[in-house]
Amino acid sequence: MKSILEEGIRDFKADFKSGNWQRQIANILTSLRILAPFVLIPLICFDKLNIFVIMVVFFFLTDTFDGYFARKYKSVSKFGAYLDAVVDKVFAISLLIPILIQTSLNNTNFRLVIINIILEVVIGLLNLYAFSKNLRPASTKIGKIKTVFLFVLLGILYLSKVINISNIYLFIFIILTIILQIITIFSYLSQIKKRKITINSSL
């Protein structure tokens, strides 16, 4: 992992020194999402909902365009992939935490959101571990479906604050997301284990 960070810093300096700063646009956009919890959590705590929505859209756009610029300027790198994997988890968790802050923990559905947060942290830690071993679990269909469910769940949770949504529907969606997160974790563990076996057997 240290070598990946060093490579990223080295490329950053080289691109700006040579005038090819456009190659770093993708990493800069990705890095902006690290700020998400420091921006979104205070906004929701101080009930600045309009600004909160604007900032969520802004962070979503950075996620949309970082890949576009990486491909456009042919700047796809291990560091960029590592950074994207980490900040995506930070962004998702920074959207889940405000829901807990504004909701009574006596509500069963919102207590379950804590499990979503824990599992998303575990997935993030698995990504970090994989990168530290110069591995990267391939994105699976289950992982992609999990991500879609997670962000749809976030949308439903926030909508439930302003419109009436049946608790049973919330419960079902939360449980489905938890199941997909657990399957994703086991999928990543399986990939990491297989890669380690392959590496060891080649020594």
- Quick: pLDDT tens for 69-108: 888 888 877 778 778 878 888 888 888 888 777 665 457 7
What is d(CA 175, CA 181) in angstroms, rounded to the nearest whole number?
A: 10
d(CA 141, CA 48): 36
Higher pLDDT, 28 or 131: 28
Q: What is the mean pLDDT of residues 163-167?
A: 81
Secondary structure of residue 1 in the 3-state scheme: coil
Q: Is 20 helix (H, G, I), strand (E, B) or coil?
A: coil
What band does 176 get if pLDDT is binned at 50, 70 and 90? very high
Sorted by sequence, the CB contacts under 8 Å of residue 23 that are 6+ apart come out as 11, 15, 73, 74, 75
